[in-house]
Every structure is written in C-alpha cells, then in structure tokens.
Amino acid sequence: MDPTAAKIVLAAQRGDSINRIAEKVDISYSWIYDWIERLDGADFIANTDDGIQIVDHEMRRHYDEMMGALYRRDCISQEDAYIIPHFAGMEFAYTEIDAAYVWTHGGYQIARSHDDYPVFIDVHDQDVDRWIAFFEQYGIDTAIDERSDASDVEGDIYYVLFPTAGGIETEWVDGNPVIPLDETVEQMMDNRPAYEPALEIIDEEYDMDIDASHHDRMTAD
C-alpha cells in the first residue's frame, strides 16, 4: 500500500507506456520502471507489448480509497493538482488558464495564487456527476463553467469543470492532456492583454506566427 504504487495503478490507462505513466505522476522513469516490475510480479498490473493493463481492479479500488484518505488529510499542492485528475479514469483536457499553463510548460500563470488556485478542465457532459463525486472523495470542491469566489470553496485548490456534449480533442504535453494549441491560442486571443506574455512564449516556441497588430496598437497607445 505504497503511495507511489497507488499513483501508478490509479493513473494507468490501458495501453499507457511506462514513460506516459511517469509523466502523469511526475516521478522519474527509472523509479516508475522499478515499481512497474514489482506490481507486475504481484499481478496487480500487466506490462504487455501493448502497454500497461490493470489486472487487479479490487486493488485499484483499495488504492483509490487510500489516496482519497491521504489527500483529505493533507493539503494538496499545486503539483498534486495536476496529478489527481489522472486518477479518475475519465477523459479530460486542461483548458482556459491551464491550457496556457501547460503549453508554456508552467511558464505562465494569471489570476491565481497559492490560496486561490482553480484548475480548469474540459470533461464529457455525461461524466459531470462522476467528476464531482470523485473530487468529493478526495476532499476537493468543484465549480461548473466558471470559477468560484475563494470564500465559497474549501481548501486552496478546486476544479472548474467545463462540460462538453461532443468529443474532447486533446494533445499531450509534459504528461498532461490539453486542448489543441490552435484552440488554446484562440481562447487566449479573446483576452489578449492578459495573455500577451504567454502568446509571446508560444509564438517563439511553436512558430505560430501570431498576429502582432494588437500588441503594436497597445504600444502605440
């Protein structure tokens, strides 16, 4: 009942590589590799040619209960906030502020602090109740479609869910599922003054050829 083992089993989705799991839980590849061998030997998971598969679903349930108890007892860190959604076993993608945060590799933050840290994710419409129940198990509040006032939520970190009736298109960046870069830039352009530094980072790294007319106009003013 080790927390590292629990994170591996909870974060693993059928077909995941060891590297993908290491990125999801933000632990070194070599350490995850060692644990995968142990868990495979204990028949909790299977390391196959097609990737990792969960074998013992009862143990996965025990791990889920254990991690829920740990996170209810302790404060959740910013790093934890980007690991916990992987434990839900449901599809999601980081969006809004967190799309910019992920695409800039954590290089851009806006309108958040350590004591008021909403995390923004797209989820399937039919999964909303399950997401709310999942975060409740971990002692974490949720909001729908817009961030809550800090005084209305328990704890420093909570999740803002954006339900979508269609599919969720994702790309993977540093172990995080995130909305596509084009969609991220489109969201940022809707509030360009706030996102200008992030747009410059993205333009430089991904050669997006972002129109600079707005920035030029601000400078002229």
Judged against a pLDDT cut of 50, whether residue 221 lies above it is answered with: no
- How far, CA to CA in Å, does 52 sit from each of 15, 136, 166, 188? 5, 28, 28, 36
Q: CA quadruple 156, 133, 71, 179: dihedral positive or negative?
A: negative
With cut-offs at 50, 70 and 90, classify the pLDDT of residue 1: confident
Number of C-beta neighbours around residue 70 at 10 A: 15
With bands split at pLDDT 50, 70 and 90, how would you rate the model's confidence at 131? Answer: very high
In percent, the amount of the chain with pLDDT more than 70 equals 95
Residue-level pLDDT at 166 = 86
Q: Does the pLDDT value for residue 44 go beyond 60? A: yes
pLDDT above 80 for 151: no
- 26-35, 149-158, 196-205: least confidently modelled range: 149-158
Q: Is the pLDDT of residue 120 over 90?
A: yes
pLDDT at 13: 94
DSSP 161-204: EEEESS----EEETTEEE--HHHHHHHHHTTHHHHHHHHHHHHH
pLDDT at residue 39 greater than cutoff 90: yes
CA angle, 31 as apex, 51 and 42 as ends, to 5°?
Answer: 60
Q: How many CB atoms lie within 10 A of CB 98?
A: 25
The pLDDT assigned to 66 comes to: 94
Q: Which two tokens stand for residue 173?
A: 């960046």
Confidence of residue 217 (pLDDT cuts 50, 70, 90): very low
Q: Does the model's pTM come out above 0.75?
A: yes
Name the band, by pLDDT with cuts 50, 70 and 90, for residue 155: confident
- 112: its two tokens: 């958040």
Question: Looking at the predicted structure, is the pLDDT value of residue 215 above 50?
Answer: no
Question: In percent, how much of the chain has pLDDT > 90?
Answer: 81
